A and B are shown apart, each in its own frame.
Chain A
């Protein structure tokens, strides 16, 4: 009979090509994330992840480039359901903003112009990549160190111990060895006390130095969505960084418009107020708090402030300069970040006033876009030597 059709069902369980190449791709994703940290960490999806452990980040560089048309300069064809007309809107700009990638659409190419790949990564893993060579600059040993941290590490094996710490694998090995030495068949069975092995622990001591970070945030009316976003983004990572790297560091949160107040962490991140701006109120409050609670003889003090630089007037700017100098007498560094989305060379008042401060421990940073957040973190938290020069990471 003529051959027409046939059916078969083989065992495919050992076929692993797809997963193997997928693993190679995953490795490349990690590499790409490392290379693009500055863009990735400013993604809104992460900052607003609300403690979710896994976040999706778009990795742009992982597409193989090819010659292609600019989708936004091209006409595309589509179909309506019988009632389409000129002027119908099919959607918004799909390639900017919140990182809605492919994978949600019905099919690839559903949204012209969106070409990046959504990679899943744990926030902690991302943080580890970011912070591996960062630290608190000019950290000093202060008297009266905080209590020694104690943790427990299991790193030793003994013959006697608590049953709950029995190391079963080692016990089995010992048992089999004993049978073999006795000339019997090397097998597992007939356990004796001699075979038992217990894991045991040591106390680990770590000394930590006292440190307090004072996070100040401008919540005045002139702070637009972009400025607020950058501030939140910076402090999100800063808090994360401090908590993972320095277990005992304290953080004081201050918000200000014309008046400053100390708030808790949640209010700090969520607060959206309005009104005028008097930056000195925040610096004064910071100074008061340091004087009252954080004696520089015992504490390393790190004030940071983010603002759009739009302050009330020259008189207040001058007060700010004086207060920054006063804070620098007590603090290890003072970090000031000014966020300017659109200004081209307009001398924003506060940064202009700070020009006169020549202390190497005063670190001013200008942020113009999302991708400047990571460089800002790096300039604030790069380890420095005595002269103030950057210390290369070990």
Chain B
């Protein structure tokens, strides 16, 4: 335990004592967290870090909006962020200045379980553990681009890139050296048709075989060779006319997104893990009666069922408890090997679905209604939504569509249709990067359809 001597007031000294006790209790239970630094911050800072996802991350109005919304809800007493912990080595965690002593104890225990999870879960094996420094450097670079090219220009480009930030290769996330799958080096895309006379020049070579290319075109190699899920990576490498700073902005957004992917993939398990351990640790702390009552209240408000979404704290914790009790599977093995998808697929059985009272619901005749209680269908529905994380599976199918450098994206349709208004607007954002006509193949009302944006207008064509 080290404490910054300048700030060692009685409150901090007290807190430091409890952190030490909780650390020891966590170790006694078998948890093995990274060393963790706790910073006590005022609410504004807490909400800023919560909104940006990382301290010191680049500026953008969407971050400002998130900050404003979270802060307003806090000011009105509607919600409160308790825990904020960054997956780095050592871990950084933040405690809100206004927390009560009990709130701090619960948060510290919760956070240490997260730090254990970050350290030992297989999906985090390759994450960048210096991400705070990386994010600061990234922010600095973006600031310098703003200085050089104007705030508006950078914002406009960031808007476009952030619109498709979810489209990285999630399965690839964080693997060292993971990068965009490249096309064959010799597989040069065609020169874009830029004048009305380009056809004539081609005619020239076609009429005189001896002069240039053979009369019959060789079958075109695919570009990319395989459909590519990492749209950001593809755009970063293959967009024809980007300036260096723009490629760098794409790289930054992609890198930061990949950092968050393991957290997305294990949200339920990680929060369940932390909630399970904060409650076990706090029960060992010999809390005074009033604090114990406060703990019970706080814990049940954090881990409460939600009718319209799965509260990861609640579902994750209940399922872990269920598995430990009924299936006799060691919890530490689960935290080491599973992601949300595999965890749910392996362990969400009939008893668990019934115990948690899980269901599927949908929009039907103006109302949101419960439509499915059959445990297998509920399990499959949950596994499916966790597989996509609500993000449609879209790939770059052709980066040289019509041999005119048009971009052809394809939605790998798995039964759920896209929100068309959003799809068309997003396509316009992709165009803002690619700067030539962009297409998206998807399914609308059961029919394969291509949406197109040519820089001025959107159109639709049924295939």
A residues engaging B (CB < 8 A)? 3-10, 12, 15, 17-25, 28, 62, 64-94, 102-104, 106-107, 109-113, 117
23 A-B contact pairs sorted by A residue (CB < 8 Å): A5-B35, A7-B16, A15-B44, A18-B47, A18-B64, A21-B60, A28-B61, A65-B428, A66-B422, A67-B422, A69-B419, A73-B363, A75-B372, A79-B359, A80-B307, A80-B357, A87-B369, A88-B361, A90-B369, A91-B367, A94-B368, A107-B309, A110-B306
CA distance A107 to B50 in the complex (A): 14
CB neighbours of A69 from chain B (8 A)? 390, 392, 416-419
Contact B48 A10 (CB under 8 A): no
Provide the B239-264 mask, 1 if CB < 8 A to any CB of A, else 0: 00000000000000000000000000
- Residue in B39, B167, B360, B416 whose beta carbon sits within 8 Å of that of A8 in the complex: B39
Provide the B304-337 mask, 1 if CB < 8 A to any CB of A, else 0: 0111111100110000000000000000000000
Contact A93 B64 (CB under 8 A): no
CA distance A69 to B306 in the complex (A): 21
CA distance A333 to B45 in the complex (A): 58
Contact B307 A67 (CB under 8 A): no
List which B16-49 residues lie within 8 A (CB) of chain A. 16, 19-20, 23, 35-42, 44-45, 47-48
List the 4 closest A-B pairs by CB distance, nearest first: A21-B64, A18-B48, A65-B425, A25-B64
Tell me the nearest residue of chain B to A60, going by C-beta: B421
Tell me the nearest residue of chain B to A29, going by C-beta: B65
| With A67-B422, A107-B309: A72-B90 Cβ-Cβ less than 8 Å | no
B371 interface contact, C-beta 8 A: yes
List which B327-359 residues lie within 8 A (CB) of chain A. 356-359
B277 interface contact, C-beta 8 A: no
CB neighbours of B360 from chain A (8 A)? 75-78
| With A9-B40, A89-B367, A103-B73: A67-B362 Cβ-Cβ less than 8 Å | no
Provide the B445-457 mask, 1 if CB < 8 A to any CB of A, else 0: 0000000000000
Contact A109 B309 (CB under 8 A): yes
| With A75-B381, A77-B310: A8-B7 Cβ-Cβ less than 8 Å | yes
Contact B2 A77 (CB under 8 A): no
CA distance A94 to B167 in the complex (A): 28
Contact B45 A79 (CB under 8 A): no
Contact A93 B358 (CB under 8 A): no
B109 interface contact, C-beta 8 A: no
* Segment at the A interface, from B157-165, B175-183, B184-192: B157-165
Contact A79 B356 (CB under 8 A): yes
B15 interface contact, C-beta 8 A: yes
CB neighbours of A65 from chain B (8 A)? 163, 422, 425-426, 428-429
CB neighbours of A4 from chain B (8 A)? 1, 20, 23, 35-36
- Residue in A18, A79, A113 whose beta carbon sits within 8 Å of that of B310 in the complex: A79
Contact B416 A74 (CB under 8 A): yes
| With A18-B64, A76-B308: A67-B426 Cβ-Cβ less than 8 Å | yes
B269 interface contact, C-beta 8 A: no
Nearest-neighbour CB distance to chain A for B101, whole angstroms, equals: 13
Tell me the nearest residue of chain A to B422, going by C-beta: A65
Tell me the nearest residue of chain A to B19, going by C-beta: A5
CB neighbours of B166 from chain A (8 A)? 66-67
CA distance A85 to B371 in the complex (A): 8
CA distance A22 to B69 in the complex (A): 10
CA distance A110 to B165 in the complex (A): 22
B84 interface contact, C-beta 8 A: no
CB neighbours of A15 from chain B (8 A)? 44-45, 48
Contact A70 B90 (CB under 8 A): no
CB neighbours of A25 from chain B (8 A)? 61-62, 64-65, 68
Contact B357 A81 (CB under 8 A): yes
Contact B19 A7 (CB under 8 A): yes
CB neighbours of A67 from chain B (8 A)? 164, 166-167, 391-392, 394, 411, 418, 422-423, 426, 440
Contact A90 B308 (CB under 8 A): yes
- Residue in B51, B167, B362 whose beta carbon sits within 8 Å of that of A75 in the complex: B362
Nearest-neighbour CB distance to chain B for A54, whole angstroms, equals: 13
User: Which of A68, A70, A75, A106 lies at the interface centre, i.e. has the most chain B CB atoms within 10 A of its CB?
Assistant: A75
Contact A87 B370 (CB under 8 A): yes
CA distance A12 to B423 in the complex (A): 41
| With A12-B42, A75-B371: A66-B361 Cβ-Cβ less than 8 Å | no
CB neighbours of A90 from chain B (8 A)? 307-308, 361, 367-370
| With A78-B359, A111-B308: A89-B369 Cβ-Cβ less than 8 Å | yes
- Residue in B39, B67, B310 whose beta carbon sits within 8 Å of that of A9 in the complex: B39
- Residue in B9, B48, B69, B314 whose beta carbon sits within 8 Å of that of A17 in the complex: B48
Contact A10 B67 (CB under 8 A): no
| With A5-B20, A21-B60: A73-B416 Cβ-Cβ less than 8 Å | yes
Contact B45 A22 (CB under 8 A): no
